[in-house]
Each structure stands twice: as structure tokens, then as C-alpha cells.
């Protein structure tokens, strides 16, 4: 325990996908023993809250400034719309507690810090010392990329990075995961029907499936298109410069996490939604400031934090260890396909996968909560 008086911590959005992962991780690490948790709801006021081993308490109105204002810290996984509504109301009421948020709304604020403590613990400590009260989780692929190659940034070796992301259905929410499963089932049914035709062959089956994928019969309420049997080369809204908002976040958030305000490191790429259920992957092209032997790069990468691990650049190791299915539910961050590229001795390729619900969402929030509790006791 960090102090004699436990801090009151209010949790909002704890039943959603990120919130559920956060709750599980806090239980695994016995974090609830360090705080006085209070659970809020936007829809089931008075209903029993979760059982975290210390008795079940009724849920409290998450739209009540009075009740939220009684908390020392608030952790929100409710989404940007909720943050837009309640954060300013709470601050304007005079509340001076810590607000921890999984949503993107506060990331651009000069009064917030995007948290990823294995990479920017110095920024977090400085924020605490200077009175910053808002601590926000970063974009999932940005956080995973920094966990993977953060050592190269720390050593000031990177001139620019191109990140081509392959993002799972879960990045769009639970309903989108369910939609992908429904699409898979529907395509399976079409395939079964096609195979019963006496004249069918694989090309005929493919033709039937493709026709169905492009029809209005396939479920597509969330994605707008079929993700099953397909890839979607656009994520988030469109910006005037041709980027998607998801792609724009790469450079802005990376530099903010690293504390770079002048002469930002250029980062860009294309974000693609793929038909995996959980975990995001990224193919990285890294332009170094000078040529560095691969062995030295591997050492720098692995020394960055205790979760990153270099995978041998072989077919077997890559297929066994660098896939979404290999990292799902795990904190480790594998980095592989490391090699000098044909473009020159200062160009390096890399491929990495990570669970975006852990290091890409819940884990930085869990860890910054512990840091803030410790520093405020």
C-alpha cells in the first residue's frame, strides 16, 4: 500500500472491451488493493457493480458531477463523447483530481500527457511535478510501434519512419468483431452451397463468394464493407492532405510521447483494416541517421524495455512468433524481419505485432494509475 489513506478512484466504461481488459489486468496485479474503487455507469444506476473481491457496491451515475467530484482520480474507458461532455463540466466545477482516459479527445490538449511509461516515464514525472492533471492513453499502433523500436528513438538514431499498419477488427470495437464473425459464417455458407454444385471448382466458388462479398446481403452495418475475405485500406475519417486521421496520429502522437516539440521526427504510412480478430501488426521502413550493423540495432531494441523481443529473421521464426495469433493476450512485443534494405545501408526494415488491447490501450492506463497513486500519497 502506498499510503495510509486509500485514494478514491472512479471507473467509467469498465464493461467495454478496453475497460474489461483493464479490470482483468488490475485483478491479476492486485491493483485494487491499493485504492478505494468506485464504479460508475451511464445506464444502470443502482445495479450491482463488479465483484473485485472486496464486496459488491451499487453503480453510481457517471453523469453526476457531484459524485465524480468526490473522486481523487477518474479512469474513463467510456469514449470521446463522454469525455467531451463530462471532463470540462468536472474541471469547471473546481475538481482538481487526476483524469485518466483511454479515448483520443484529450490527446491534442497542451494540458495532457500521452502515457507510455516504458518510453516516456520522464515526461510523466515532469507532468506530475508541474501540475498536469490529465493523462491519456495513446493511439494503439503508435504505442505498439514505440514499445517495439523505442530504443532507436531514445538513442536518436531515427531520421524518419514509414509504418504500414495491419489493424484487427477489435480496433473498431466489439460490435465490429462480431460483424467479422458473422461475415465469416455467411461466406462459409456460400462456400458450402457452391461446393454442392456438380460443376463447381475453386474458381467458381471464388466467383460466388466475391459476388456475395460485394452484395448488400453480407452484414456490414459497422464496417460498411466486408472485412472477411478482404482488406479495407482506410481507417478513420479523411483529412484534407489525403491522410486518414488514423495515419495523422502517427507523427503527432509519437513526437508528443517522446517530448519532441521542435523539429518533429517525420512519420507516415497507410493504415489498413485486416480480417484478424485481435492484435495489430506493422511493417516498418526506418531511415537511420547513419548506417548501423543489424546486430547493434537488435541489442539497442532489446535493451529498451523488458517486453520487447527480437525475433530471428527466418521464415519459421517469423511465422511462429510475429503473427497476431502468437501475441494475442500477451504483453510481449516481438520485432522481426530486421535487415538492411536495398535502398541503402541506412535503411532498415522491421515487422512487429502486439496486442492493442494491452499495450495499445489498457496497460498504459493501469500503469499510470499506479504511478499517480504513488506520487499523490
Domains belonging to the chain, first-starting first, are 7-137+361-376 (3.40.50.720)
Q: What is the mean pLDDT of residues 105-132?
A: 97
Return the closest-CA partner of residue 135 out of 366, 354, 356: 366
| Residue 358, phi then psi, degrees to nearest 5 | -95, -90
Write out pLDDT tens, residues 152-209.
Answer: 999 999 999 999 999 999 999 999 999 999 999 999 999 888 777 655 688 889 999 9
Verify whether residue 140 is a known catalytic residue: yes
By three-state DSSP, how is residue 70 classified? coil
Residue 78: the pLDDT is 96
Q: Which of 77, 87, 279, 280 is an active site residue?
A: 280
Handedness of CA 309, 314, 316, 318 (dihedral sign): positive
Q: What is the mean pLDDT of the chain?
A: 95
Q: Using the predicted structure, report yes or no on whether residue 376 has a pLDDT greater than 60.
A: yes
Q: Using the predicted structure, report yes or no on whether residue 288 has a pLDDT greater than 90.
A: yes
| Residue 9, phi then psi, degrees to nearest 5 | -120, 120
Q: Is the pTM of this model over 0.85?
A: yes
Task: Quote the CA–CA distance of 92 and 72 in Å, as a whole number.
Answer: 16
Q: Using the predicted structure, report yes or no on whether residue 55 has a pLDDT greater than 60.
A: yes
Residue 81: the pLDDT is 96
> What is the distance in angstroms between the CA of the first residue and the CA of the last residue of the chain?
10
Verify whether residue 36 is a known catalytic residue: no
Residue 53: the pLDDT is 81
- Which residues in 322-335 are b (16+ Cβ under 10 Å) and which e? bbbebbbeeebbbb
Q: Parallel, antiparallel, or unpaired for β 267-268 and 112-115? A: unpaired
Q: Using the predicted structure, report yes or no on whether residue 314 has a pLDDT greater than 80.
A: yes
Residue 261: the pLDDT is 87
Residue 54: the pLDDT is 76
> How many other C-beta atoms lie within 10 A of the C-beta of residue 151?
21
Return the closest-CA partner of residue 359 out of 22, 10, 11: 22
Q: Which of 77, 87, 140, 271 is an active site residue?
A: 140
The three grid cell numbers given for residue 247, joined into one nine-digit string: 495515419
Cα angle 366-369-370, degrees, rounded to a multiple of 5: 90
Task: Quote the CA–CA distance of 322 and 309 in Å, as a whole number.
Answer: 10
| Residue 304, phi then psi, degrees to nearest 5 | -65, -45
Percent of the chain with pLDDT strictly greater than 90: 92
Write the DSSP string, 270-321: -EEE-S-SS-EEEEEEEEESS---HHHHHHHHHHS-SSEEEPPSSHHHHHHH
Cα angle 350-356-360, degrees, rounded to a multiple of 5: 90
- The DSSP bridge partners found for residue 280 are 354
Amino acid at each position: 500500500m502506498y499510503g495510509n489513506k486509500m485514494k478514491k478512484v472512479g471507473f467509467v466504461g469498465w464493461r467495454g472491451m478496453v475497460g474489461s481488459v483493464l479490470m482483468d489486468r488490475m485483478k491479476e496485479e492486485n491493483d485494487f488493493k491499493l485504492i478505494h474503487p468506485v464504479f460508475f455507469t451511464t445506464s444502470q444506476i443502482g445495479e450491482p457493480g463488479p465483484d473485485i473481491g472486496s464486496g459488491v457496491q451499487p453503480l453510481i451515475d457517471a453523469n453526476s458531477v457531484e459524485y465524480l467530484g468526490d473522486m481523487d482520480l477518474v479512469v474513463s474507458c467510456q469514449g470521446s463523447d463522454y469525455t467531451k461532455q463530462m471532463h470540462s463540466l468536472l474541471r469547471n466545477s473546481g475538481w482538481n483530481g487526476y483524469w485518466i482516459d483511454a479515448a483520443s479527445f484529450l490527446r491534442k490538449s497542451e494540458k495532457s500527457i500521452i502515457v507510455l511509461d516504458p518510453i516516456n516515464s520522464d515526461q510523466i514525472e515532469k507532468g506530475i511535478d508541474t501540475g498536469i492533471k490529465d493523462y491519456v492513453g495513446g493511439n494503439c499502433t503508435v504505442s505498439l510501434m514505440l514499445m517495439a523500436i523505442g530504443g532507436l528513438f531514445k538513442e536518436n538514431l531515427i531520421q524518419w519512419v514509414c509504418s504500414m499498419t495491419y489493424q484487427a477488427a477489435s480496433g473498431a470495437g466489439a460490435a465490429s468483431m462480431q460483424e467479422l464473425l458473422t461475415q465469416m459464417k455467411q461466406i462459409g455458407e456460400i462456400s458450402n452451397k457452391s461446393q454442392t454444385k456438380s460443376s463447381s471448382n475453386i474458381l467458381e466458388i471464388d466467383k460466388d463468394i466475391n459476388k456475395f462479398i460485394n452484395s448488400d446481403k453480407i452484414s456490414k452495418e459497422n464496417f460498411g464493407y466486408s472485412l472477411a475475405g478482404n482488406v479495407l485500406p482506410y481507417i478513420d475519417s479523411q483529412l484534407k492532405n489525403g491522410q486518414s486521421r488514423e495515419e495523422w496520429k502517427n507523427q503527432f502522437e509519437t513526437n508528443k510521447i517522446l517530448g519532441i516539440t521542435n523539429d518533429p521526427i517525420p512519420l507516415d504510412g497507410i493504415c489498413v483494416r485486416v480480417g484478424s480478430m485481435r492484435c495489430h501488426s506493422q511493417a516498418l521502413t526506418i531511415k537511420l541517421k547513419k548506417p548501423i550493423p543489424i546486430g547493434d540495432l537488435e541489442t539497442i531494441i532489446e535493451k529498451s524495455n523488458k517486453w520487447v523481443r527480437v525475433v530471428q529473421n527466418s521464415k519459421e521464426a517469423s511465422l511462429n512468433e510475429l503473427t497476431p495469433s502468437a501475441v494475442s493476450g500477451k504483453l510481449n512485443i516481438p520485432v522481426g524481419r530486421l535487415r538492411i534494405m536495398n535502398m541503402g545501408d541506412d535503411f532498415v526494415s522491421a515487422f512487429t505485432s502486439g496486442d492493442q488491447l494491452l499495450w495499445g490501450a489498457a496497460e498504459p492506463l493501469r500503469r499510470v494509475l499506479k504511478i499517480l497513486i504513488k506520487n499523490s500519497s
